Amino acid sequence: MTDVSVRDLKNSLSEYLRRAQAGEEIVVVSRKRPVARLSPLQGVLIRKNIQTAALRRLRALPGVSWTGDKPELPNKLVKLRGSKLASEIVSEGRR
């Protein structure tokens, strides 16, 4: 549990909301007295735990690796010729 003054909360609200969403309880104090509490919603915390567990299982699969960064594109990109959109070409291939 973390104590935060009203001023600090106002100046860094997004940070404290992220911390609360991650499961941390934050007590807001005014003149050294507690006045409010920020805590995660249970449904959000449960959903986050399920997502974390699913990612952990996925990363444990053989041949799966991910650093958390955006995937890199291959060096050679395919250039489309003509005026057709990629989505049109894909939908034609499915017929």
In order of their start, the domains of the chain are 2-60 (3.40.1620.10)
d(CA 54, CA 26): 28
Q: Report pTM.
A: 0.46
pLDDT digits (tens, 9 = 90+) for 10-20: 999 999 999 98
Summarize pLDDT for 33-49 with one digit per residue, the tens. Answer: 999 999 888 766 677 77
Chain centroid to CA 63: how far?
Answer: 24
**Among 17, 10, 12, 15, residue whose Cα is nearest residue 39:** 17
Whether pLDDT at 92 is above 80: yes
Tell me the CA distances in angstroms from 59 to 13, 51, 64, 65, one per residue in order.
Answer: 33, 12, 6, 6
Q: Is residue 67's pLDDT more than 80?
A: no
Identify the residue with better confidence: 45 or 87.
87
